Structure 1
Amino acid sequence: MPSPRRTARQADLLERLVALLVAEGFASFTLDDLAERLRCSKTTLYQLAGTKQDLVREAVKHYFRGAADAVEKEIAETVDPASRVQVYLTTVAEQLSSLSRAFLDDMAQFPPAREVYEANTRLAADRVRNLIAEGVAAGAFREVHAAFVGEVAAATMRQIQLGEVGARIGLTDSEAYEQLASLIVHAVSS
């Protein structure tokens, strides 16, 4: 469902809310805390979403929508098929690098936010599959089963998203995506 049209003031408030939540997480905030930190009324927050849970979900969706736009902009500027996978995953890593551990942990514990992250992870895995298939078709990658490589990437991306990679080997989500980019590109290169 597309986001409702927002006034300039609401759009600014949503941006500030996203910046706050990304930096500090959201589980410990009440609506009163958010209104105070954002210097607005609770009524103003309710204009963005009806409950704190809906507000958090909307902020998480907004963050990932912006991140996806930034990633796709980088891909659009990359012509070489062999570079597109690297650029895609590296740019995903850059986008994730701004997320605090508190935000990532809160997303993992809050089902509506986790669902948004999971949906974006699935979309990213599909995008990797497509980029690999394009690279194979263009002769930039050796003949590989793009769907299989995409599934391996998707499984790893899910483990990253769930925090399992970080817990086991100590990489941030961003660092893990950088390593995944390197692994995939080297695995499929001629």
Structure 2
Amino acid sequence: MSLIVGVDDCSSESDVIVVPSALDFVSQDDMLTPLGRLDKYAASENVFNRQMVARSLLDTLREVCDDERECIAVLERISRLADDSEPTVRAELMEQVPHIALFCQENRPAIPYAFSKYLLPIVVRYLADQNNQVRKTSQAALLALLEQELIERFDVETKVCPVLVELTAPDSNDEVKTEAVA
């Protein structure tokens, strides 16, 4: 009597059929480092993949948080992702910024400039983004950052206020002006 385990791999020397387990297969992504995975999907032509990268940035930071160089590398990739041409990717990134900023403050005191150097410039730039969804998401992120006291007073005075003053100038777009005042 033969023992049938499966149908995928049949050996002629025995009556046992062996079926490889799903655990026997290692995906290519599992072989990549966290930064390698981030780079692979950030460079994808598929918008959904790039949105997923934005959503997974905090998880990636958590994976590499013991290595200061890798944390800085993730922050640099965030800056590159901020240049994405797709508004949904930029808006998704902006939704993650307050969470990433809080994580950086709590877990990387060795990189005190992480927020000011890498994240705040993106928030400030997106306040004047051409896409309404990106602008509104950046405004919400800015409010969350202010409420959580994650922005230093110096940064508010030197980086945020000048942009808000510019956005509310008499010659600026009325829609953007109304949003900036709100």
Q: Same fold (TM over 0.5)?
A: no
Q: Which has the higher helix share?
A: 1
Normalised TM-score (structure 1): 0.31
Higher relative contact order (CA 8 A, sep 6+): 1
Normalised TM-score (structure 2): 0.32
